[in-house]
Structure 1
Amino acid sequence: MSVENHTPFPALAFRQYNMVGELMGVVVARGTFKLTKDGPLQLADEQYPLVMSDTYEGDPHETPHLACTDLAPFKPGTDVTFVGASFAPGGKAQSSWTCGLKVGSVDKRLRVHGPRLWRARTRKTWRGLIDRDKEDALDGWELTPGDPVAYVPIDWRLAFGGRRDEGELEANPLGMGLVGQTRFKQQPEWPAPRIELEDQPIQSVTDRPQPAGFAPISPFWKDRAELAGTYDEDWVEKRHPLLPEDFDYAFWQAAPRDQIAEPWLEGNEPFELTNLLPGFENLRGSLPGLALQVSIEQGAGSQSGLMVLDGVHFYMRPGVGRVFLTWRCNFLWPEREGLPRLEMAHVVEGV
């Protein structure tokens, strides 16, 4: 549905039932901004359209989630995400370094590595005198240093995860680092994760760390899927088309849980990108200090309210290099009466 839009940002309105069966109006807007050094984000000349469905690099079950749909009805916090790569300090290839994403209350650091391996250590056994198949025994696994590289993609495929031998998926189903320890003779070397949380380094082949990354996560990953509620026969008979009673609106948060700001960011917070841009070891700036307001007349006088900032998405892949902000608001709209009016509420110098 359209809105009376008095902003430079693409926006739309839609209706959806809330948990108690009321028809709510939802207005969402997306702004496209450029980075500036030591200053607020600047409005981009080209405003990218709203994202109408989750976007992936390729097959959703094999490639990363690049952008989440803007058609979410409500997010209880602000997603802070980053898609891109980390670059070695000074531009010189290194085996390992740290990088960081900080926006307001969200502060997260990763350690990245060049390609590295889990390598089997073996020892000879007396059983080999009788049975050559038992000549070598596993004596543990060593983690090799990373090969020097100039950059590391911040890609879930390079963080810990994957599918276990018994078929069960890790929290990051795209990841790497699972080792078939019983197959050490056939495969003595296994790829090791190249991205880890700075304060939780992977030290053992048996470690099962949380996924380490900055990018959005898919709705069918464990951390989000467990918030979606129960869709069973009881739900079909008693609740449909409403959401299940155990549905959690945090399901719509596409950021990893440690990258969600609650309550929402106000929109003027400082940010810092550490080793996430070529040529800038630390790029500091701030959100643009911008607020949007929605008003609507439904026959009983005009009602208005501020939208909340529920998404800050740094998309630093080559050819794009933009920051996307999303705002959202909800209001009762049972009869679809009136046309939502969207306008700027506050702009600081620089936008």
Structure 2
Amino acid sequence: MLHTNNTPFAAIGFEQWKPDGTPMACIAARCSLLLHEGAVHYAGTQALVLADEFAGDPHREPMLKAGDLVPFRPGADITVIGSAHAPEPAREFEAAIRVGPLTKRLRLTGPRHWVHDGHWRLSEPEAVTEVPLSWRLASGGRIVGDPDGDADPRNPIGAGIVHPLYTSEKLEISAPQISSAEHPLSLDPARPADPEGVGPVPPWWQTRARHAGTYDRAWQDTHHPLLPGDFDYRFYQVAPPGLQLAGYLAPGMMVEGEGLLPGAARFRFRLPDLMPFAKFSFTDGREVTARLNLDGLHLDLREGIKFDLTWRAWIPSCPAFYRIDLELGRWDEVMAMGLPVPGAEGLEIA
């Protein structure tokens, strides 16, 4: 389906059907870059992510990257993997990521516990210089002592939840080390606050699963294998709340980090001037050219500053659909072409 790729990106063409049965010709592209001495450079390897990637067991370890075989996202995702850093040992400190109009600020602490001495209370945190930005250290997790092994559907791998009936008062229960800087951590361990984080969210967690639609007997009998009629494309948004942009990213948008590098060093750069566009061709001679939506910025700060950008486009297909050719231009050049952009129903006038 993807015939020519005249960009340095990794890209793939594929077909997917909408819930109403409309076939869609889709293209997805990914570019890996790095920041070195204040300038953005292409990374050495450009590769697609064909399936979601995890740090280990998907039901125990955090998600690292989302797969690229996604037909459409209604907005842009910003995610970060790495650690938060304090300039010197501290019991508590803050870190933040800013992208365009969005700011996500977290409060981090050293290890601490829920302890029971007549009632559950938080112990004093240890002093640390680094806290991994892992969902394992956020609110949520399994209900400690629950015979059914139930867990918080918002974050099943979180620090753990105290249950008044099931949790032994003799235990020290790990408490969250990551919370919102704007909203204090709940002091009731049986009623955990909303999980806070910056990493990608797996598809079976509540924030995404609620958009997956209804898979009941009626769907199985009358609609399978199509997506259910109440499927919402927000299901494909992998960023946590607070890091989903209404609309899309754009070249030149500012990206800033605070407390996300060793020594709490700050970083700042602009998204590069990269604007891919695609020509969709049909055997009957029709041609449609469209911009791709820049729908993902995925920062990997584990070693230096690396990041992936993802783009996507789709149009309604038919038996006469033939091929996709991917091209790359500068922002001003491509904008001057007046190309349509992908929307929920297909192409829209920008």
TM-score, normalised with respect to structure 1: 0.87
Q: Give the distance between the partners of 1:4 and 1:71, measured in 2 at CA.
A: 18
Letter aligned with residue 176 of structure 2: P
In the TM superposition, what are the counterparts of 1:149-188 in structure 2 within 5 Å?
149-164=128-143, 165=146, 167-170=149-152, 171-181=154-164, 183=167, 185-187=169-171
Q: Is the deviation greater in 177-186 or in 329-338?
A: 177-186
1:111 and 2:107 matched: yes
CA deviation map 1:108-128 (0-9, x unaligned): 11011111112222xxxxxxx
Q: Give the distance between the partners of 1:185 and 1:238, measured in 2 at CA.
A: 51
Q: Give the distance between the partners of 2:37 and 2:104, measured in 1 at CA.
A: 20
> Which of 182, 201, 206 matches 1:222?
206
Structure with more relative contact order (C-alpha pairs < 8 Å, separation 6 or more): 1
Tell me which residue corresponds to 2:346: none
Tell me which residue corresponds to 1:202: 185
Does the 8 Å CA contact 1:10/1:47 hold for their aligned counterparts?
Answer: no
Tell me which residue corresponds to 1:67: 65
Letter aligned with residue 141 of structure 2: G
CA deviation map 1:187-208 (0-9, x unaligned): 2x22111100111121412442
Q: Is the deviation greater in 269-278 or in 231-240?
A: 231-240
Tell me the CA shift for residue 145 of structure 1.
2.1
Does the 8 Å CA contact 2:278/2:326 hold for their aligned counterparts?
Answer: yes
1:79 and 2:61 matched: no
Tell me the CA shift for residue 180 of structure 1.
4.3
Moved over 4 A (4+): 36-39, 180-185
Q: Give the distance between the partners of 1:204 and 1:116, measured in 2 at CA.
A: 13
Tell me the CA shift for residue 285 of structure 1.
1.2
Tell me the CA shift for residue 267 of structure 1.
3.0
Tell me which residue corresponds to 1:313: 298
Structure 1 counterpart SS, 2:220: helix
Q: Is the deviation greater in 59-68 or in 142-151?
A: 142-151
Structure 1 residue runs without a partner (length 5+) = 122-137
Tell me the CA shift for residue 233 of structure 1.
1.5
Does the 8 Å CA contact 1:80/1:106 hold for their aligned counterparts?
Answer: no
CA deviation map 1:109-160 (0-9, x unaligned): 1011111112222xxxxxxxxxxxxxxxx2x232122111120000000011
Structure 2 counterpart SS, 1:251: helix
Structure 1 residues 184 and 233: alpha-carbon distance in aligned structure 2, compared to 1, 3 A threshold: closer
Tell me which residue corresponds to 2:54: 56
RMSD (CA atoms): 1.9
Does the 8 Å CA contact 2:35/2:41 hold for their aligned counterparts?
Answer: no
CA deviation map 1:4-39 (0-9, x unaligned): 100001101000111321111100110011125665
Structure 2 residue runs without a partner (length 5+) = 333-350
In the TM superposition, what are the counterparts of 1:252-263 in structure 2 within 5 Å?
252-263=236-247
Tell me the CA shift for residue 336 of structure 1.
6.0
TM-score, normalised with respect to structure 2: 0.88
1:322 and 2:306 matched: yes
Does the 8 Å CA contact 2:77/2:237 hold for their aligned counterparts?
Answer: yes
Q: Give the distance between the partners of 1:98 and 1:37, measured in 2 at CA.
A: 25
Q: Percentage identity across aligned positions?
A: 35
Tell me the CA shift for residue 104 of structure 1.
1.2
In the TM superposition, what are the counterparts of 1:14-33 in structure 2 within 5 Å?
14-33=14-33
1:141 and 2:125 matched: no
Structure of greater Rg = 1
Does the 8 Å CA contact 1:66/1:216 hold for their aligned counterparts?
Answer: yes
In the TM superposition, what are the counterparts of 1:257-296 in structure 2 within 5 Å?
257-296=241-280
Q: Give the distance between the partners of 1:111 and 1:37, measured in 2 at CA.
A: 29
Does the 8 Å CA contact 1:103/1:269 hold for their aligned counterparts?
Answer: yes
Q: Is the deviation greater in 329-338 or in 299-308?
A: 329-338
CA deviation map 1:44-67 (0-9, x unaligned): 241331000011111110000010
Does the 8 Å CA contact 1:9/1:47 hold for their aligned counterparts?
Answer: no
Tell me which residue corresponds to 2:96: 100
Q: Give the distance between the partners of 1:111 and 1:336, measured in 2 at CA.
A: 54
Q: Give the distance between the partners of 1:141 and 1:150, measured in 2 at CA.
A: 27
1:246 and 2:246 matched: no
Matched residues, number: 325
Does the 8 Å CA contact 1:31/1:47 hold for their aligned counterparts?
Answer: no
Q: Give the distance between the partners of 1:306 and 1:117, measured in 2 at CA.
A: 50
Q: Give the distance between the partners of 2:50 and 2:155, measured in 1 at CA.
A: 24
Does the 8 Å CA contact 1:3/1:12 hold for their aligned counterparts?
Answer: no
Does the 8 Å CA contact 2:86/2:263 hold for their aligned counterparts?
Answer: no
Structure 2 counterpart SS, 1:24: strand
Does the 8 Å CA contact 1:268/1:290 hold for their aligned counterparts?
Answer: no
